[in-house]
Structure 1
Amino acid sequence: MERDLFKSRVRLRHLDCFVTVAQTRNLGRAAARLSLSQPAVTKILNELEALLGTTLIERNRQGAKLTRDGETFLAHAITVLDALHTAGAAVGPQRERQHEAVRLGALPTVAPDLLPGALRRFRRDHAEAQVSVQTATNVALLGMLKGGEIDVAVARMAEPELLVGVSFELLYVEPLVATVRPQHPLAGVKGPVLQDLLAYPVMVASQGTIPRHNTESYFAGHGLKLPANYTETLSISLARQLTRTTDTVWFAQLGAVRTELEDGALIALTIPTAGAEEPVGLARRSDASLGEAALALIAALREEAVLRRG
């Protein structure tokens, strides 16, 4: 009886509103995207939660956070909306001009290293497909994935609560490297120790990211802390330029600096970093049904990842 009541009373606006709030994590931003007032968004959410008999979203001054039931319901809501979108695109006068689109998310440290080769492979057989690439932190990528904003993400392993409704496939592991310009005073030093590096400016990933946590854990494992005068950034281009033009020591995952190391623009210092590797993998919604182009891009990413192993 309760199932029949829910099916008869739930409306598309309930699902659309809920998914938009889940994607934006903010009632105000969701209201703006939906062209509704914030009280109207709250009313629609309350109706949906009443129909389900559970709380889907916790609201506070910091924004809107999905509950565990909310995470579970989001996966099903996205599936319904995706199915409606696919059905609408499959019929009518526009169907002949439709090209399959793939929405890919990637970490900024991984995208420049893995995606160019994978996209070249993909384009050999899918020249007409549309590909949209967004870069973001790991937490943001997983949120976008669960919110239906992207189809697949090149991401890192995360805490179990962040992987609800998400499947993760390991591609390879990336070591941590300390890089400097060839003219750096430490460039010609054989076997420098970690303490030696701290005499120079240090560049690390921004607070709250997995690479940053990994770097701090690496330092802690050697009984050290990051120096107080470090520079943090998510901008790979900024980090590269600063390291190439100053005596900065940049701690980064190998993929972020692979091209510069191969070209000789930067060199890796010979300090031991065993145990500081990070997994890189493919994340996708567990219940998502992907199209031919998306599956082909995933296959291309797997093939390119083989070159990164070992």
Structure 2
Amino acid sequence: MNVTLRQLRVFRAVAAGRNFSRAGDQVGLTQPAVSRSISELEAQLGLKLLDRTTREVALTEAGQSLAARLDRVLDELEQALADTHDMASARRGKVRVASSPTLSANLMPGCIAECARRHPEIEFVLLDRIQKDVLDSVRAGEVDFGVVVEPPAADDLYGETILEDPFCLILHPSHRLATRSSVRWSALDGESLVLLDHASGSRRLIDDALAGHGAHCEVRQQVGHATTAFRMVEAGIGISVMPALAVPPAGLQALAVRPLVPRMQRAIMLVHRRNRAPSPLAQRVWRLVRETVALSPSSRSPPHPVRSTPRTK
């Protein structure tokens, strides 16, 4: 049956007042429109609800049965619709966001601070997790959305790119490549590397870039955190390829940072379940993260070469 909410409201008004004109005034329709709406409802139900004469309107047995239940049903439906509508203007609540470690450390603090400044009534809860766990949290509905390095294509996720983050080379200032203002990927061929492990969303992209430029390298160590990789580079274990966001804004005190060319980058994305739109409150935080990142220094300029002097022992 294709019964509309308007048809039910019109019938309720007619049943209450037993008059088409007064019912029309109540629901904002002309008398012919009221009559047409009742006829359409009766046609959908396959029976008469009203007996109409020139002098009165009377409910049939079916009409009495429907009218007796309709007030409660419509009241509950209208309350449900009103509650849902109120969600669109909700301004207070908790929004849970999962983010991979490099992004948690270098992008999310500014977003959380901006949310506290602009929307103090929203509690921004950050879950700092490796990329796979972030994606699992999004898929399970544990969080409202995630902030990740571009994941492999997935039909169940919707993603929006908010930042392009280039890769750079981290090396000891005494290394032969440190004399260059930029380093070609192919120049890494034969070098020993210290890289993030495969739990990082960046590792897949780094491996692809190295292979694509013919750089066959020995991976000496695979670590979970950029800081660990930096200390290993300082110790002379190898050189490292890192996303620019992993480099502190002030640079690395004992290491050199060089852009890699041609420029290869990772996309930083916001993701949510494709068929489950975030709540209106979460959508406000989504927009805030996007806007805050767009205004951040990391979104406006690539990393510049940084020359450092080794610490004296």
Please indicate, yes or no, whether the TM-score normalized by the shorter chain is above 0.5.
Answer: yes
Offset of residue 126 of structure 1: 3.2
Q: Distance in 1 between matches of 2:184 and 2:147?
A: 33
| Higher-Rg member (1/2) | 2
Q: Distance in 2 between matches of 1:174 and 1:104?
A: 20
Long gaps (5+) in structure 2: 1-79, 301-313
Long gaps (5+) in structure 1: 1-82, 91-98
The amino acid across from 1:111 in the alignment is S
Offset of residue 232 of structure 1: 0.9
Paired position in structure 1 for 2:110: 117
Paired position in structure 2 for 1:220: 211
Paired position in structure 2 for 1:171: 162
Paired position in structure 1 for 2:292: 304
Q: How high is the sequence identity, in percent, across the aligned residues?
A: 19
Offset of residue 111 of structure 1: 1.8
Tell me if the contact between 2:189 and 2:214 (Cα under 8 Å) persists in the aligned partners. no
Instruction: Name the structure where strand makes up a greater proportion of residues.
Output: 2
What's the Cα RMSD here? Answer: 3.2
Structure 1 stretches of 4+ moved >6 Å: none
Call closer, same or farther: CA 1:240–1:192 in 2, change over 3 Å: closer
The amino acid across from 1:253 in the alignment is P
- Aligned 1:1-310 pairs, distance under 5 A: 100-160=93-153, 162-164=154-156, 166-182=157-173, 184=175, 186-189=177-180, 192=183, 194=185, 197=188, 201-207=192-198, 209-227=200-218, 229-246=219-236, 248-261=238-251, 266-274=255-263, 276-286=264-274, 287-292=276-281, 294-306=282-294, 307=296, 308-310=298-300
Offset of residue 127 of structure 1: 3.2
Q: Distance in 1 between matches of 2:176 and 2:137?
A: 43
Q: Distance in 1 between matches of 2:207 and 2:278?
A: 38
Tell me if the contact between 1:122 and 1:296 (Cα under 8 Å) persists in the aligned partners. no
Q: Distance in 2 between matches of 1:232 and 1:109?
A: 16
Question: Given the two structures, how large is their TM-score scaled by the length of structure 2?
Answer: 0.57
Structure 1 counterpart SS, 2:141: coil
Q: Distance in 2 between matches of 1:102 and 1:181?
A: 42
Offset of residue 279 of structure 1: 1.0
| Partner deviation per Cα, 1:212-237 (whole Å, 9 max, x = no partner) | 1211111112222231x421122233
Offset of residue 178 of structure 1: 0.9
Call closer, same or farther: CA 1:210–1:273 in 2, change over 3 Å: farther
Q: Distance in 2 between matches of 1:239 and 1:264?
A: 14
Call closer, same or farther: CA 1:253–1:273 in 2, change over 3 Å: farther
Call closer, same or farther: CA 1:196–1:288 in 2, change over 3 Å: closer
Offset of residue 167 of structure 1: 1.6
